[in-house]
Amino acid sequence: QVQLVESGGGLVQAGGSLRLSCTASGSTFWFRTMGWYRQAPGNERELVASITSSGTTTYAASVKGRFTISTNNAKNTVYLQMNSLQPEDTAVYFCNNLQAVQWPWGQGTQVTVSS
């Protein structure tokens, strides 16, 4: 059973930065496309960034130029560097693969940006 554990969230002022981490135990993801998702209260979960096994990255328009996704395959970890954070980035952030059958979701990590 794959377990995803996200960490690194917190409370930050607008304009600040955070670095999120997500580690997968029970499987390796170096050959999968991995993504970071977020879900704000009352909203559906949305994909904000993804990275393929070859390192190709894709970002939602709302975060492009501010967020950077990366991986450390040796550590089975995917990261999300978030800069210039805005209040609208407030959400619970999750990671998962982008396959048709995804792994069980982790608990996520809360990011709160104050204005």
Q: Is the pLDDT of residue 28 over 80?
A: no
Q: How many CA atoms lie within 13 A of 68 on its CB side?
A: 8
Q: How many CA atoms lie within 13 A of 101 on its CB side?
A: 1
pLDDT given for residue 50 in this prediction: 98
Q: Beta strand 3-7 with 18-25: parallel, antiparallel or unpaired?
A: antiparallel
Mean per-residue pLDDT, 27-45: 89
Identify the band that residue 20 occupies on the pLDDT scale cut at 50, 70 and 90: very high
Average of per-residue pLDDT values in the chain: 94
pLDDT given for residue 73 in this prediction: 85
pLDDT given for residue 112 in this prediction: 98
Dihedral, 66, 68, 16, 76 alpha carbons, nearest 10: 160
What does each C-alpha distance from 103 to 55, 85, 106 come to in angstroms?
A: 21, 28, 9
Dihedral sign of CA atoms 58, 54, 68, 29 in order: positive
Identify the band that residue 100 occupies on the pLDDT scale cut at 50, 70 and 90: confident
Identify the band that residue 65 occupies on the pLDDT scale cut at 50, 70 and 90: very high
Contact between 74 and 1 under an 8 Å Cβ cutoff? The reply is no
- Rounded Cα distance between 110 and 81, Å, is 14
pLDDT given for residue 78 in this prediction: 96
100/11: higher pLDDT: 11
